[in-house]
Amino acid sequence: MPRRTDRYPVKTANSLWHVYRTVPFLKVVRNFIVIQVARYMPFLPVKNMLYRRLLGMDVGPRAAVALMVMMDVMFPEKISIGKNSVIGYNTTILAHEYLIDEYRLGRVNIGDNVMIGANATILPGVTIGDGAVVSAATLVHKDVPPGAFVGGNPMKIIREGRETTEQ
């Protein structure tokens, strides 16, 4: 299944030259500052509060976002993280792509009780199902079924879904 993104063609120059027509400059500056503070924040409740209140993200209870995680600086409000999920060190979560002839925007939905290993990259328009495990350094370029264990670049399903336990 292809990623669910909205596509916006551009006619002159590459799409990154149109960036401040797609998102206000001051919003990007504000988001950048909040995200940089959150990247180093050692207190998970404070970090989650910054994501919820200042960036408009949907972050479930007991979600744990590790040190140095880079949220999408332009559209963080398109990211949701389910309850009791762990986002590993230095992971990047993108809700936008600026390409040569177009830019794309898409929601990223991370389910409940999901484990994402360190240095993963999650592309826009992806859903990661409840109880899934994403191996370290994985490029998540398509949906991850609930309970699956995935890894690699490009991402492959290593083990199909399994029963998840409510925590």
Q: What is the pLDDT of residue 161?
A: 82
**Residue 1 in domain:** no
- Residue at 13 is within a domain: no
Spell out the residues 6+ positions from residue 57 whose beta carbon is closer than 8 angstroms to its own: 51, 71, 76, 77, 79, 80, 81
Give the range of the structural domain holding residue 118, as residue numbers without chain letter.
18-159
Alpha carbon distance 86, 73 (integer Å): 20
Question: Quick one: pLDDT at residue 162?
Answer: 67
Cβ neighbours for 156, distance < 8 A, ≥ 6 positions apart = 150
Neighbour-count burial of 142, counting CB atoms closer than 10 A to its CB (0-12 exposed, 13-18 middle, 19+ buried): middle
CATH number of the domain within which 145 lies = 2.160.10.10
End-to-end CA distance of the chain: 30
Instruction: Kindly tell me if the per-residue pLDDT of 25 is higher than 60.
Output: yes
pLDDT at 2 over 90: no
pLDDT at 163: 58
Residue 9 falls inside a structural domain: no
Residue 10 within a domain: no
What is the pLDDT at residue 71? 98
Residue 4, domain member (yes or no): no
- Distance (Å, rounded) from C-alpha 62 to C-alpha 166? 13
Whether 166 shows a pLDDT value over 60: the answer reads no
3-state secondary structure of 144: strand
In a domain, 29, yes or no: yes
Number of domains the chain is built from? 1
Q: Is residue 167 situated within a structural domain?
A: no
Q: Is residue 32 part of a domain?
A: yes
What pLDDT is attached to residue 120? 98
Contact indicator for 146, 132 with CB cutoff of 8 Å: yes
Q: What ranges make up the beta strands (E) of 48-137?
A: 58-59, 64-65, 70-71, 79-81, 86-87, 92-93, 96-98, 102-105, 108-110, 115-116, 121-122, 127-128, 133-134
> Is the per-residue pLDDT at 12 higher than 90?
no
Encoded tokens for 69: 């995680």
Number of residues written out for the chain: 167
pLDDT of 1 over the 90 cut: no
Return d(Cα 66, Cα 85) in angstroms, integer: 11
